[in-house]
Structure 1
Amino acid sequence: MSEAYVYDAVRLPRGRVRKGGGTLAELPAYELFGQLLTALENRSCPAESVDDVIVGVSTAMGEQGGDVARAAELWAGWPDSVPGGVVSRLCCSGLDAVESGAARVAAGYAEVVIAGGVESMSRVPMLSDRPAIASDADLGERTGFVTIGVSADLTAAEYGITRAELDAYAVRSHRRAGAAMVSSSVVPARKGGTLLLANDEGARADASEEVFAALPTLFGADPAWERVARRLPGSPRPADGLHTIATAPQLADGASAVLLGGRSAHRTLGRDPLARIVGTGQAAVRSPLLTAPAVAARIALRRAGITAADLDVIEVNESFAVTPLVLIGELGLDPERVNPSGGALAVGHPLGATGGILIAQALDELRRRDGEFALITIPAALGLGSAMILRRTS
């Protein structure tokens, strides 16, 4: 069996979703991802050399349905011979797409694959597809599906994480995002010849623990707590809730694309790989807990043959402030190596696009730190989690 390498990773800046239209609301999902296909082609990926395009989408309906990968290729003017398809694993969709593409390369079924994700939350809101887990009461009871904010509060209460700790982490996320360096992996989003957005938006310069402490909690009175009590008898319930709008991920539009290839793909692509994928992990825990990223990370670390102490960079999706705090505690991580450029609390979580975004950020940070190993991990609803380990090669 051969190996899978990352030759390039690009992403659009994350655009905040707002009432009345976000910054990227003019761009349908196929155009968001299509701009990245054009960027990769301009950066030395001949379109005709691509064996497949795999796109992760969380809410695959409307204009994000009907195989948005193929639609993006045709929008970008790529050859008719390039196939494309979609995978969906809720918030893990983008990372799952990259893992799927890497598996095809490693198995020798493809030489060059582009994988990533896209989500236009402005145009196709989360849960607008009315999935059975959210709309069928019997299935919701069987699966333990609740508002993900309730899952976040429950998980924080299980781990004894306080409101003050959550607020402090959110402040750090905003400050790091505000100070983050602009990376060459970010492709400015345009509409025709008009620049819409060049950098991530959303980081608050006024972020402080005092400001965030004054915000009301969101989920303490949610009726879904009754389902939690039936699903997990004896579980703690914080009286007034724990997470607020500041410690919840911001809604965003975005897209990401990762160029994958085998060991010899450098001859086709005219460039050396940036990293090798050395471990992946898929995990699930009893829903509605959000602890699967730590489980998936341990699986990926074991498969990579390294320990958490070997990690130079950790990019964990900030699916509420509790997620990185649990991961830090479970794996004994150095907080300075976790999300060094901030995360979704500050600049948003465009669902299916996030996996590829975190890969691009991890590669950027490995170069800046001259590091070797990076972990990327994401939780999703229904107790799911995905993880990946990269080993820098150049």
Structure 2
Amino acid sequence: MTAEAFVYDAIRTPRARVRRDGGTLAGVPSYDLLAQVLVELTRRGLPAKVVDDVVMGVSTTVGEQAGDLARVAVMRAGWPDETPAGVVSRLCCSGLDAIASGAAQVRTGMAGAVVVGGAESMSRTPMMADRPAFALDDDLGDATGFVTIGVSADATAAKHGFTRAELDAWAVRSHARAAAADWRCVVPVTSGGETLLERDEGARDGVTAESLAALPALFADDPLWSRVEERFAGFVRPAGGLHTVATAPQMCDGASAALLGSADLEQTLGRAPIGRIVAWAHAAVRSPGLDGTITAARTALSRAGIEADDLVVAEVNESFSVTPLLVARELGLGDDVINVQGGAVAVGHPLGASGGMLLAHAMELLGRRGGGHGLLVIPGALGVATAVVVEGFAQEDALPGGGA
């Protein structure tokens, strides 16, 4: 008999923009960002000694982020030496993969309490710092269809008929909603007793379609377009390009953590769960497409036994504007369901941390709305995608200790 994987808590750091002159959190390694959310979980009532495993998503596992970042963060947080911890890396989908992996342990009875989430400091460990072979070896690049992620986004938008104006309009929406967002799941980042950041950076009031229309396209002249044309029969390259700096996800730093557990954990914690992990699915499409999100989402919904119309919220990572636009159109999601408080094109996508952030958002929003089902979706390079279906329970506060 399969047990339930309940969600007892879900939190995240603010998202801090990467800047050339050093961002707000550029001085904080990713293991410290992760350690701070682990410490916060204990402050909110988790006895670290009951944690059976820690599973964290990390996309770029090199340098400071190599060598089992999760175990380093556990030790940095002062958790018991006996606490096991490890990482999963599925590019941008890493955080959702960590959630699925932790939920599987609980549902099969192999663990009673698992902490999941992820971390990424793109200031300190830039994307592609691991120098993957598919990006460096021309023969392997040809075989895998590797292109820069922006070319993937443009190619996917062109394939599905989205216009530059539609992509820009989504960015306007994202900025407006993110600027007005009120997330209670966010915990401040500190250093030496000083608070460095309390809120997401990046969102701007007053962004207009007219101002975005004046921005140049980023990927129109990329030499790797030839690989798209070779792999997609009949593909027509978009003239002048589609995505810009405004419709691309901000690079940023951040961490997330959620506590998953069995029904028995409620007695240990002295509080009820805030939701549960219902189903998940991994998918892939021919690279360099970014539309594996549709297969992943539909499969996860089918496994959950619900329809897209049953969703109360959907947190779709804004891996360029095309991603939420495509998911909204293909699943028929209303404007009051998808990314209701903005997303990554406004405030950033910290790669491995993003899955846990989407979970924290969905749990909070579902709690505010009286419960129901939510969908989390992220695509990644080389055509991969992951989707998770959750159920949130009605709460007075968005999260335990989260305030009114």
Tell me the TM-score normalised to structure 2 length. 0.96
Distance 2:366 2:111 in 1: 27
Matched residue SS, 2:336:
helix
Q: Is the 8 A contact 2:179 2:204 kept in 1?
A: yes
Cα offset, 1:51, TM superposition: 0.5
Distance 1:191 1:93 in 2: 27
Cα offset, 1:28, TM superposition: 0.4
Cα offset, 1:371, TM superposition: 3.5
Q: Does 1:270 align with 2:270?
A: yes
Cα offset, 1:307, TM superposition: 0.1
| Equivalence for 1:27 | 28
| Equivalence for 2:215 | 215
Cα offset, 1:278, TM superposition: 1.1
| Equivalence for 2:398 | none
| Equivalence for 1:329 | 329
| Equivalence for 2:367 | 367
The ranges of structure 1 where at least 4 consecutive aligned residues each deviate by more than 2 angstroms after the TM superposition are none
Distance 1:246 1:24 in 2: 22
Q: How does 1:237-386 map to 2 (within 5 A)?
A: 237-386=237-386
Cα offset, 1:146, TM superposition: 0.3
| Equivalence for 1:161 | 162
| Equivalence for 1:172 | 173
| Equivalence for 1:70 | 71
Q: Name the amino acid aligned to 2:285.
A: V
Distance 1:192 1:39 in 2: 16
Distance 1:230 1:160 in 2: 19
Distance 1:156 1:278 in 2: 30
Matched residue SS, 1:80:
coil
Q: Does 1:39 align with 2:27?
A: no
Cα offset, 1:230, TM superposition: 1.2
| Equivalence for 1:97 | 98
Q: Name the amino acid aligned to 1:269.
A: L
Distance 1:182 1:95 in 2: 20
Distance 2:381 2:168 in 1: 22
The runs of 5 or more residues in structure 1 that have no matched partner are none
Distance 2:135 2:193 in 1: 40
Distance 1:357 1:144 in 2: 29
Cα offset, 1:216, TM superposition: 0.3
Q: Deviations over 1:217-258 (max 9, x none)?
A: 000111010111111132120010000000000000000001
Q: Name the amino acid aligned to 1:98.
A: I
Q: Deviations over 1:19-39 (max 9, x none)?
A: 021111111011000001100
Distance 1:301 1:386 in 2: 12
Matched residue SS, 1:97:
helix
Cα offset, 1:46, TM superposition: 0.3
Cα offset, 1:393, TM superposition: 2.9
Q: Name the amino acid aligned to 1:327.
A: V
| Equivalence for 2:229 | 229
Q: Is the 8 A contact 2:366 2:393 kept in 1?
A: no
Matched residue SS, 1:336:
coil
Q: Is the 8 A contact 2:176 2:206 kept in 1?
A: no
Matched residue SS, 1:337:
coil
Range with bigger deviation, 115-124 or 359-368: 359-368
Distance 1:392 1:249 in 2: 27
Matched residue SS, 1:176:
helix
Instruction: Provide the aligned C-alpha RMSD in A.
Output: 0.8
Distance 1:269 1:345 in 2: 37
Matched residue SS, 1:335:
coil
